[in-house]
Structure 1
Amino acid sequence: METATDGQREIRRALRDLLDRYARPTPAPEGYDPALWARMSGELGLARLARLALPELALACEETGRALAPSPLLATTVLAAPLVAALGTPAQRAELLPRIAAGELTCALAAPGGSLAHALGLTGDNTTGAWSGDGRAGGVQARPAPGGDGWLLYGEAAQVLDGHSAGLLLVAAHTGGFARSRTLLLLVRTRDAGPGLVRTRHAGLDPTRSPAAVQLRDVPAELLGEDPADPADITRALAAAGRTAAVLLAAEAAGAARGALDGALGHATARERHRLADLHVRVEAARTLTHCAAREPGPGPESGPLALAQALDALRDAAGEAVPPHDADRYGRRATADALLFGPAGRLRARAAERGLLGPTGEAAA
C-alpha cells in the first residue's frame, strides 16, 4: 500500500484543490491554460520536482491524470528537462533549467522517423538508428551551418507533444551520411528559428494532449551538450528519461483510472459495486506498483515500463466502466492515445522480457 509523508499529502491536497477549481477544457492556442500552468509550476513548484524527487512528481502526475488536466507537465518537465540536465553543457543548464523550473519556458521532444516510445527505449532498442531515420530518407537531417557556427536542420517530425507551442524544441536528428550516420540532440529556440520552422497542431485522439507536426527547413540549431557529442551518451540519456517518464505516465494513467472508477462507483447500485470490486483491486495494484517504481534508486527506474503497462491496462478497463457516457469517452480517449504514443502494454511487457525483467510467469522478476 502507498505510504505518504505529510509533505506528499500536502502536495496532493493542494494540487487536487487547484485542479478541481481550475482544470477545464480550454480553447487557448497552447492547448492548456497558461494561468493554471503558472500556478502549478510557480506556486506548487511542479516544474522543479523532476530535478528533486520522483515520488513527489509521481504523486502530482497521479492528480493531473485524475483530472485529465491538459498541461506542459509531460512534454516539458517529464521528457525534456531531464535530457537538458543530463546532456547539456554547464552554460546550457544554467540558462535553461531555471527558466523551466520557473514555468517560463516550455519544451518539446521531437523524435522523428519512428515512435517516441522506441526513441525512449520503451518498446525497442534505441541504440539502433532505425527510430530516427537510420541515416536514410525521412527524419531530420543535421548539417553544420556555413562557417561552422551551429547547425541547420532539415526534415520533419510528427506527433510532437506540445510541439506547436513550446519555446524550445529538442530535436533528434541524424548526421554524417548513411555510412557514418549518428543521432544527435539539438536545441531549436522557436522564437529565433525563422520562417523555416512550421508547426501545425493536430486535434489528436485525446483533446487533453496536444500533438503537432513540426517541419524544419534549414532551421538554425545548437547541439545539446559538448561537441563532438557521444551518440552512446545520447541514447543512454534517452533511455533513462524513458524509464522515468514511464513511471510518471503510469502515475497519470493510474490516476485517470481511479478517477474513472470513482465516477462509476458514484453511480453504481449495490450489485454493480460488487462487480466493480475486482476492478478496484486492479487499479490499486497499478497505483502501488507505480509508487514502488518511483522509489527505486538510480537513474531511470527499471520497473517503470512494467508499471506503465499495468496502469494502461487498468485505465482501459476503468474507462469501460466510467459514467456518464461523456466521461467514458474522455477516459477512453486518454487510454487509447497513451497506448498509441507510449505502448501498447503488450509491447512494453515484451521489451521488459527482452531485458530480463520478467520471470517465467510474466510477472516482474524478483
Structure 2
Amino acid sequence: MDAAFTEEQDQIRRTVRELLRERCDTDAVKAAVRTAPGHDTALWRLLARQLGLSGLALPEEYGGAGCGAVEQALVCEEVGRALLPSPLLATAVLGAPLIARLGAGAQRTALLPGIAAGELTAALAVPGGALPEALGLTGAPAETAGGARNGWAGGGRAGGVQARHDAGTGWRLYGQVDQVLDGHSAGVLLVAARTGGYTRGRTLLFVVPGDAAGLTRTRLTALDETRPQARIELRNVVAEPLGEDPGRAAAGTANGDANGAANGDADGAAARVADGLVHLGATAAAHLAAEAVGVADAALTRTVAYVREREQFGRPVGSFQAVKHRLADVYVKVQAARSAAYYAAWATGGTADPDGREDREAAVAGGLALAQALEAQRAAAAEAVQLHGGLGFTWEHDAHLAFKRAASDELLFGPVHRLRARAAERGGLFGARPAAVAAQAAAVAV
C-alpha cells in the first residue's frame, strides 16, 4: 500500500474542503436540516452536478468519474468534517454501487446516468433496522436448514416487506420499512422484500420509483437530524427486481403455480443479492469510517481551539496536564482510525483471488476500521461536550451535533463490539465453527 495520496486525490480533498468551509458552517447545517428535504438542495446540486460527487466512483460509461474507493473515502471524510446533511451516503455509498453491481443492463442504463448527473437520488430500504447485518458487518446472512437465505429481512407472513408475483401484473410489494436513510426524498428506492412465504422465503431487492402508486413516505424525528430517516409504507406497489427477474419463468403458468415457479428461480437471485450486499458492506464500512474520522477530527480541532482560549484559575484550561492527556488520547484514536479507514478503502480496490481471500480481507479491514472510527468519534464528541464546560452541556451547543452523530451512527451501523466480533469471525481468528454448532445455529434460525 502506498500511503501517500496522489496529486489528483489531494486536489479532490482541497476542493471539497474549501467549498464546504464556505457553504456549510454550523449555522448552515442547522438551517438545512429543518427544510423539507433535510438538506440544502442548492448545495447538493453544486456538489453533485458541478463537482460530480454523486458519480465519483461510478464507471465512466454511465457518466461517472471512474474513481475508486480511496477517492470516495476522501470525500466522505470532508463531508463528515462539515457534518453535511446530504443524500451522498444513501445515494453514492449505498444505492448506486448496488445498482452498478446487481442491476440488469437496462436498469443500469436507466438509473446510473441520472445519479451521476446529480438528477436522481437513491435510498436502500432494509426492514427491521437490519442494515449492518444485511451488509455482513454484524452477522452473516441467515441460511436456514430449509435453504432460506437472508433472514434479516423478516418473515414471510408478518413483518418487513413481502413480494408477490402475478403472471399478469408482475411483482407487487406490501409492508413497511422504518429508518430508511433519506427515504423521504429519494427518487428511487431499493427495497429488500421477501418472496415465497415463510418456509421457502427468499429476499430480493426491488426497484421502486419514488412516485409509485401506493407508496407512502414519512420523514421521522431522528436523534441526528443531519441523517434524515423515513418510514416507507408499501400497499400493492408495482416493482421490478434489481437484476434479472426471477418471475419471468412463471409467465404462462397457471395462477396457482406462478408464485411457486418464481420462488424456485429466486434461489440464485437471492444468493446474488446476499453476495452483492456483503461486497457492498466492505466498501460502505470504509466510507462510513472515513466520514466518522472527519466528524471526530473536526470535534477535536474545535475543542483544542476552545481550551486554548477558555481560562480557569487565571490560566488557559488547555495548559492543565490532565486536559492535555485527555486530548492526546483522542488524537491518537483519531489518527489510528484514519489509518484504518484508508487502509480499508485501499483494500477494497483489489481484485479478489479465486478463493475470495482478498474479499474476506477487505471485509475484515472494513469492519475493524468502522469499529475504530466509531470509537474515535464517540470519544472526540464526549470530550468536546465535557471540555466546553457548562456551555457544552446545553443541547443547542454546536458540540452536540457531533455528539448526536456519534450516538446515531452506533445505533445505525454498530454496535462496535458486534462489528469486531464479525470481523474476527470473518478473519478466522477463532477458527471454524464445529459442525454441531453450525447445525444447531441453522436449526435455531428455522
TM-score band, normalised by shorter chain? over 0.9
TM-aligned CA distance change 1:14 to 1:357, over 3 Å:
farther
Shift, 1:358, TM fit: 4.8
Bigger drift between 295-304 and 154-163 goes to 295-304
The residue correspondences of 1:260-271 to structure 2 (distance < 5 A) are 260-268=299-307, 269-271=318-320
- Could you say which residue in structure 2 is the equivalent of 1:363? none
Bigger drift between 100-109 and 273-282 goes to 273-282
Bigger drift between 126-135 and 68-77 goes to 126-135
The residue correspondences of 1:142-161 to structure 2 (distance < 5 A) are 142-145=163-166, 147=168, 149-161=169-181
Match of 2:276, SS state, is: helix
Match status 1:244 vs 2:283: yes
- Whether the aligned pair in 2 keeps the contact of 1:188 and 1:221 (CA below 8 Å) is yes
- Could you say which residue in structure 2 is the equivalent of 1:293? 344
CA distance in 1, matches of 2:224, 2:57: 24
The residue correspondences of 1:153-302 to structure 2 (distance < 5 A) are 153-191=173-211, 193-194=212-213, 196-228=214-246, 229=266, 230-268=269-307, 269-271=318-320, 272-296=323-347, 297-298=350-351, 301-302=362-363
Match of 2:175, SS state, is: strand
- Whether the aligned pair in 2 keeps the contact of 1:11 and 1:44 (CA below 8 Å) is no
- Could you say which residue in structure 1 is the equivalent of 2:21? 20
CA distance in 2, matches of 1:102, 1:285: 35
The residue correspondences of 1:327-342 to structure 2 (distance < 5 A) are 327-342=398-413
- Could you say which residue in structure 2 is the equivalent of 1:315? 377
- Whether the aligned pair in 2 keeps the contact of 1:113 and 1:130 (CA below 8 Å) is no
CA distance in 2, matches of 1:22, 1:203: 25
- Cα deviation, 1:211-267, whole Å, max 9, x if unaligned, reads 111100001111110022521110000111111111000000011000000011111
- Whether the aligned pair in 2 keeps the contact of 1:250 and 1:307 (CA below 8 Å) is yes
Shift, 1:2, TM fit: 4.9
- Whether the aligned pair in 2 keeps the contact of 1:159 and 1:211 (CA below 8 Å) is yes
- Whether the aligned pair in 2 keeps the contact of 1:260 and 1:327 (CA below 8 Å) is no
Q: Alignment RMSD, CA only? A: 1.7
- Cα deviation, 1:275-298, whole Å, max 9, x if unaligned, reads 411211110110011111111124
TM-aligned CA distance change 1:63 to 1:357, over 3 Å:
farther
- Whether the aligned pair in 2 keeps the contact of 1:112 and 1:156 (CA below 8 Å) is yes
- Whether the aligned pair in 2 keeps the contact of 1:32 and 1:70 (CA below 8 Å) is yes
Shift, 1:305, TM fit: 1.0
- Cα deviation, 1:319-338, whole Å, max 9, x if unaligned, reads 01214622331111000100
Match status 1:304 vs 2:366: yes
Match of 2:222, SS state, is: coil
- Cα deviation, 1:168-226, whole Å, max 9, x if unaligned, reads 000000111122211110000122x11x2111101201010011111000011111100
Match of 1:321, SS state, is: helix
Shift, 1:154, TM fit: 0.3
CA distance in 2, matches of 1:319, 1:357: 33
Match status 1:118 vs 2:107: no
Match of 1:113, SS state, is: helix
Bigger drift between 321-330 and 172-181 goes to 321-330
- Could you say which residue in structure 1 is the equivalent of 2:442? none
CA distance in 1, matches of 2:107, 2:142: 25
- Whether the aligned pair in 2 keeps the contact of 1:119 and 1:126 (CA below 8 Å) is yes
CA distance in 2, matches of 1:214, 1:187: 13
The runs of at least 4 aligned residues of structure 1 exceeding 4 Å deviation read: 357-360
CA distance in 1, matches of 2:167, 2:139: 36
Match of 2:383, SS state, is: coil
Unmatched 5+ residue regions in structure 2?
A: 59-66, 144-149, 247-265, 308-317, 353-358, 432-446
Match of 1:188, SS state, is: strand
Residue identity in the other structure for 1:222? E
TM-aligned CA distance change 1:34 to 1:276, over 3 Å:
same
From 30, 34, 44, the equivalent of 1:37 is 44
Shift, 1:150, TM fit: 2.8
- Whether the aligned pair in 2 keeps the contact of 1:111 and 1:172 (CA below 8 Å) is yes
Shift, 1:29, TM fit: 1.0
CA distance in 2, matches of 1:216, 1:93: 24
From 103, 106, 112, the equivalent of 2:118 is 103
Residue identity in the other structure for 1:356? G
Unmatched 5+ residue regions in structure 1?
A: 361-366
Match of 2:90, SS state, is: helix
Match of 1:295, SS state, is: helix
Bigger drift between 3-12 and 92-101 goes to 3-12
Shift, 1:116, TM fit: 1.0
Shift, 1:91, TM fit: 0.8
- Whether the aligned pair in 2 keeps the contact of 1:116 and 1:341 (CA below 8 Å) is yes
From 421, 424, 431, the equivalent of 1:353 is 424
Identity of aligned residues (%): 54
In the alignment of these two chains, the number of paired residues is 357
- Could you say which residue in structure 2 is the equivalent of 1:364? none
- Whether the aligned pair in 1 keeps the contact of 2:129 and 2:178 (CA below 8 Å) is no
